[in-house]
Amino acid sequence: MRSKCFIQFCFLFLFAIQSQFIIAQKKSFPQKVDSVLRLMTLEEKIGQLNQYNDDWTATGPVTVDNDKANQIRKGQVGSLLNCMGTDRTKSWQKIAMQSRLKIPLLFGQDVIHGYKTTFPIPLAEAASWDLEAIQSSARIAATEAAASGIHWTFAPMVDIARDPRWGRVMEGAGEDPYLGSLIAKARVKGFQGNKLGNVDAVMACAKHFAAYGAAIGGRDYNSVDMSDRLLWEVYLPPFKAALDAGAATFMNSFNDLNGIPATGNKYLQRDILKGKWNFEGFVVSDWGSIGEMINHGNVKNSYEAALSAITAGSDMDMESRCYKDNLAQLVKDKKVSIELIDDAVKRILQKKFELGLFDDPFKFCNAEREQKEINNPEHSKIAREVAAKSIVLLKNKNHLLPLSKNTKTIAFIGPLVKEEKQNLGFWSVELPEIDYSKLIVTQWQGVKNKINKNSTLLYAKGCDIDGNNKDGFAEAIETAKQADIVIISVGERRDMSGEAKSRSNIHLPGVQEELIKAIQATGKPVVVLINAGRPLIFNWTADNVPAILYTWWLGCEAGDAIADVLFGDYNPSAKLPITFPREEGQIPIYYSHFNTGRPARNDSDLNYVSAYTDLSNSPKFPFGYGLSYTNFQYSNLQLSKKKIKSNEKIEVTLNISNNGKVSGEEVVQIYLRDKVGSIVRPVKELKDFAKIKLNAGETKTIKFIIDKEKLSFYNQQLKWVVEPGDFDLMIGSSSEDIRLKDSFELIR
Ligand code: GLC
């Protein structure tokens, strides 16, 4: 009898265990979050809102704090940034596992355009208008970063930027909200992969929320002042696209928006992001931005700064220590409810559960996987392809390009020819253990790899990137005279654009344009490569040199990618994602401007019109501009209807023909103009595009759909509306090179 009872007890006990296990497994993430939250002290909750920089590198003003390990042991830290590699992350995570509740740390990093394999800067990738390529770039960056212990990248930066004086223009997708939104989505999908929690996925972070790119004067960290209409129509759409793509986190921005710092801006973070848009992830402040509200003059001290930020919806405090130092007191003083703290903590714990860190805090610390992924040869192959797709052909007079690989003697001149790390741009991740001289293909090496072994490649530096020393000119000129063709590689230093790198003068720096003039004077055919993180001004070069490639900063594979384009193994297909001004005096300059009451009909029309008396209104190179080694003909534009109701659609079809001798890709752009609106409407807006590949002589028919969404805009009441009236439809190879036109009417 007794043995029977024992067996029954064992059975019941096992059943109870198993059902507990099943319940535990079945528990949803929110239930798991609540089960942890219930155990936490106020100090431990505040700890989850506290993020520190690791000690070995910095991307902002450093606060010396040698007590981080102890604070982590006490559960007073929830995340570290700038902590990379499985060894280093494992060592910090082990310390976190010594804390009372063993809540794992989150490791965040600026993996902006690649981890070990550095891809082109984001503005260059945007020039590819190739969403698959852009997504694959982010996918590889995530794979390498996640394999190296990183859970979270502070990317994509989705700030619309119309002022190339602002150094961070290099980090985004340019001036247009339509293109910027599609790229934001591609990057979020790339970073987050199939599912958060997979060991090849990292959390994305849409930043900087919001309107950081509209800093007055293009001066970083400066104020932003704009109408809510402009905010909703131009600066918010890429953030909404990132959120709709599933972005796990947002980062707020340093700027004040209409007088209220974004970090303490309830309208942005609570009303829009967490309210209207129902964002369920968490918001991290930008480096020290909570404490910087004191400098803004929006709060008196760190106590008020913490109150403002947590109330406004800023969940995690990057490096300011305002939350750590003040939130407990604010709760005690009944200024901040525990519910507000709990909401922020739950958002963060939810992501730690989704990443699987509670099940295995070391799941991203596999050294073997790290070595496999950061040394995957496929990654650099793809990086080379993305880089070639990002190069914009600005000029090619008399088809000087592509060059022949059998050219007898080539002179390769300029300060960037043999540079290594300059090719990486401002936001590259640089790992101490990597020998970048072996990883980066310089421009010199790329051309050497490409040309015939019997060809001669001559070199002269000519001058520095900046400064006014011309001592190298004579040698450069002599070198040019010995050659059949001269390639000149000039531009910025990579630290001339990026964060805190605003420039009032964005002309080609130093005496580089004088070097180009001197080489051009030899009478040799000249090709100029311009390397930069922003649109530069180089009017003489643009007007006088026969061939120009804008090569941005293309990453590890720069040299081979540039050579692929120079020698025709890749036919350039990129288009500018941002307008290039003639002079700084035109800035801000962008294609989707309003017509004004007195539009200038042309450059000579100065009779009481909206124009400069000393400079053309038009840009040097317009948005959407880029040439090819072949030429494309647009024909046979057809609209399925000429009148539609708001619930109807128009099918737009047209033919694109490749009339040249080589295959190529064309970015066919469709612009609309709403002729009359209750709010004036831009003279044109990009509403769709298609990047298509055509073999020589091939013709393809492409189709676009015009629907209500593409006709809508924010009216004076900030309602997303369509209004009946006439629309112009423009199909172009750039925003100014309109090849086909038609019009249609929206009726009630
Ligand atoms: C920087 C940047 C932000 C970056 C953060 C962490 O100041 O503004 O984009 O993600 O700090 O490096």
Question: Given pLDDT bands bounded at 50, 70 and 90, which one contains residue 84?
Answer: very high
Query: 59: which residues sit within 8 A by CB, 6+ positions away?
Result: 53, 81, 82, 110, 287, 499
The ligand 1 atom nearest the CA atom of 207: 9
Distance from residue 429's CA to the centre of ligand 1 (Å) = 13
**Cα–Cα nearest to 114, from 171, 184, 159, 60:** 171
Does the pLDDT at position 20 exceed 60? no
Q: Which atom of ligand 1 is nearest to the CA of 155?
A: 10
Instruction: For residue 155, report the distance from its CA to the centre of ligand 1, in Å.
Output: 10
In which band, very low, low, confident or very high, does the pLDDT at 728 lie, cut at 50, 70 and 90? very high
CA of 727 to the centre of ligand 1 (A): 42
Ligand 1, from 59, 121, 207, 263: best to mutate by most atoms within 8 Å of Cβ? Answer: 59
Centroid of ligand 1 to alpha carbon of 328 (angstroms):
27
Q: Whose CA is nearest to atom 12 of ligand 1?
A: 59
DSSP calls for 651-717:
EEEEEEEE-SSS-EEEEEEEEEEESS-SS---S-EEEEEEEEEE-TT-EEEEEEEE-HHHH-EE-TT
Instruction: Report the atom number in ligand 1 closest to the C-alpha of 171.
Output: 9
From the centroid of its chain, how far is CA 252? 15
Beta strands in 23-135 (DSSP E): 50-53, 79-81, 106-109
Q: What pLDDT, on a 0 to 100 scale, did the predictor assign at position 432? A: 87
**pLDDT, mean of residues 732-739:** 98
Asked if the model's pLDDT at residue 10 lies above 70, the reply is no
User: Which residue, 291, 328, 332, 295, is CA-closest to 308?
Assistant: 291
Q: Which amino acid is at 450?
A: K
Q: Which residues approach ligand 1 with their CB closer than 6 A?
A: 59-60, 81, 110, 154, 207, 286-287, 499
At 208-267, the pLDDT tens digits run 999 999 999 999 999 999 999 999 999 999 999 999 999 999 999 999 999 999 999 999
Q: Could you give the angle at the alpha carbon of 124 between the alpha carbons of 419 and 112, nearest 5°?
A: 85
pLDDT, greater one: 574 or 23: 574
CATH 3.40.50.10470 fits 632-746, yes or no: no
Cα 254 to averaged position of ligand 1 atoms, centre (Å): 10
Give the model's confidence band at 59: pLDDT under 50 very low, under 70 low, under 90 confident, else very high: confident
* pLDDT-based confidence at residue 725 (cuts at 50, 70, 90): very high
Q: What is the mean pLDDT of residues 402-427?
A: 98
Query: Is residue 286 flagged as an active site residue?
Result: yes
Closest listed residue to residue 51, CA positions, set 28, 68, 70: 68
Is the model's pLDDT at 22 over the cut of 60? no
Class of domain 380-581 (CATH, top level): alpha beta
Q: What distance in angstroms lies between residue 492's CA and the mean position of ligand 1's atoms?
A: 22
The pLDDT score that the predictor gives to residue 23 is 53
pLDDT in tens, 361-380: 999 999 999 999 999 999 99
**In this predicted structure, what is the pLDDT of residue 56?**
73
> Which of 202, 221, 499 gets mutated to test ligand 1 (max ligand atoms within 8 A of its CB)?
499
What is the structure's pLDDT at 5? 67
Tell me the two tokens of residue 16. 């109870």
150 to 99, 147, 203, 579: CA distances (angstroms): 21, 7, 9, 35
Pick from 701, 714, 707, 700: nearest CA to 744: 707
Gap from CA of 209 to ligand 1 centroid (Å): 12
Residues 53 and 271: their CA atoms lie apart, in Å, by 30
Could you tell me the distance, in angstroms and rounded to a whole number, from the CA of residue 59 to the centre of ligand 1? Answer: 6
- Which residue has the CA at smallest separation from atom 8 of ligand 1? 286
pLDDT band at 11 (very low <50, low <70, confident <90, very high): low
Tell me the CA distances in angstroms from 261 to 257, 305, 309, one per residue in order: 6, 11, 9
Look at residue 1 and tell me whether its pLDDT is greater than 70.
no
Q: Locate CATH 3.40.50.1700 in the chain.
A: 380-581
Q: Rounded to the nearest 10 degrees, how much is the dihedral formed by the CA atoms of 247, 248, 252, 258? A: 50
pLDDT at 137: 98
d(CA 1, ligand 1 centre) in Å = 71
Please give the structure tokens belonging to residue 375. 């040394």
Q: Print the SS3 string covering 215-275.
A: CHHHCCCCCECCCHHHHHHHHCHHHHHHHHCCCCEEEECCCEECCEEHHHCHHHHHHHHHH
pLDDT at position 62, please? 87
Name beta bridge partners: 653.
Answer: 638, 703
Mean pLDDT of 119-147: 98
Give the distance (Å) from ligand 1 centre to CA of residue 374. Answer: 23
Count other C-beta atoms under 10 Å from residue 647's C-beta: 8
C-alpha 67/C-alpha 746 separation (Å) is 65
Task: Report residue 474's pLDDT band, with 50, 70 and 90 as the boundaries.
Answer: very high
Distance 287 CA to ligand 1 centre (A): 6
Residue 58's pLDDT band, with cuts at 50, 70 and 90, is: confident
Pocket test for ligand 1, best of 286, 317, 318, 319 (most atoms within 8 A of CB): 286
Q: What is the pLDDT of residue 57?
A: 79
pLDDT of residue 61: 87
**Choice among 110, 130, 200, 286 that is catalytic:** 286
- pLDDT-derived band of residue 17, with 50, 70 and 90 as boundaries? low
Using pLDDT thresholds of 50, 70 and 90, give the confidence band for residue 577: very high
The DSSP 8-state label assigned to residue 584 in this structure reads: G
Residue in 287, 317, 426 to alter for ligand 1 test, most ligand atoms within 8 A of Cβ: 287
- Quickly state the pLDDT bin for 280 (edges 50, 70, 90): very high
Residue 576, pLDDT > 60, answer yes
Task: Give the atom of ligand 1 at the shortest distance from the alpha carbon of 254.
Answer: 8
**Amino acid letter, 409:** T
Q: Report the distance separating Cα 620 and Cα 107, nearest Å.
A: 43
Predicted confidence (pLDDT) per residue in 616-645, tens digit:
999 999 999 999 999 999 999 999 999 999
The one-letter code for the residue type at 230 is L
Mean predicted confidence (pLDDT) in 52-67: 88
Amino acid 16: pLDDT: 59
The per-residue pLDDT of the chain, averaged, comes to 96
The residue-averaged pLDDT of 176-181 equals 98
In the chain, CATH 2.60.40.10 covers: 632-746
Strand-strand pairing, 738-747 and 643-645? parallel
**Residues 23/305, Cβ–Cβ less than 8 Å:** no
Ligand 1 pocket test, pick from 56, 110, 203, 263 with the greatest ligand atom count within 8 Å of Cβ, gives 110
CA distances from 153 to 47, 75, 139, 149, 660 (A): 21, 23, 12, 11, 43
Q: Count Cα neighbours of 708 within 13 Å in the Cβ-side half-sphere.
A: 10
pLDDT at 21 over 60: no
